[in-house]
Amino acid sequence: MYLKIKKIKGIEYAYLVNQTYNKRKKNTRQKNISYLGKVLQLQRVKNLTLSSQIKVPLEEFIEQAPQREIFKALIKLELINHGFKIIGGENFVKDNLQVTGGCMRFSDKMNNSKVCFEVNQGFLTSRSLDRLCTPLSQHTDDVECANVFARRVRSEGLDPSEEVFILLFRKLRP
């Protein structure tokens, strides 16, 4: 599965797409799995680090926290760095945009429609957390696996520091 951007009447929309190959016809076919929302570009306004957002040392946080909570913290960090304000502990708002923190649902408050944020040369969507938590392949060597993991993290719009990336990769692939 991968993210596909369609431009309709000058507006970009994001879709999660699955591609299959038909051996008999020797062609590929794409099927939309899910509509992710209108694509909105966000500009970075802060440059905070994960260490500044957590209450324990970075190594301890990554070692002890569940994988899902680490990725949630990284997504929250990107939202804060791109101008979102925290309300009610888990929720984030910026202008007409809101992110429901518990389920990481990205939406426009005006019409309650889905949105997708283009940040750091990637796309933060309501599906990002699930896609980031997909297990790493066990059949590749460490370098190839690290490259796959790096592409996954970048494509979801995250930009962790080198230290965070290395600690997280070690946790996910001991």
Residues 102, 47: Cα–Cα separation, whole Å = 24
Q: What percent of the chain has pLDDT over 90?
A: 33
Q: pLDDT tens for residues 80-112?
A: 999 999 888 788 899 888 888 777 888 888 888
What pLDDT, on a 0 to 100 scale, did the predictor assign at position 79? 92
Domain positions in the chain are 43-172
Task: Report CA Rg, the chain.
Answer: 17
pLDDT beneath 50: ranges in the chain: none
Given a contact cutoff of 8 angstroms between Cβ atoms, the answer to whether 5 and 127 are in contact is no
Computed over every residue of the chain, the mean pLDDT equals 88
Contacts of 68 (CB under 8 A, 6+ apart): 129, 133
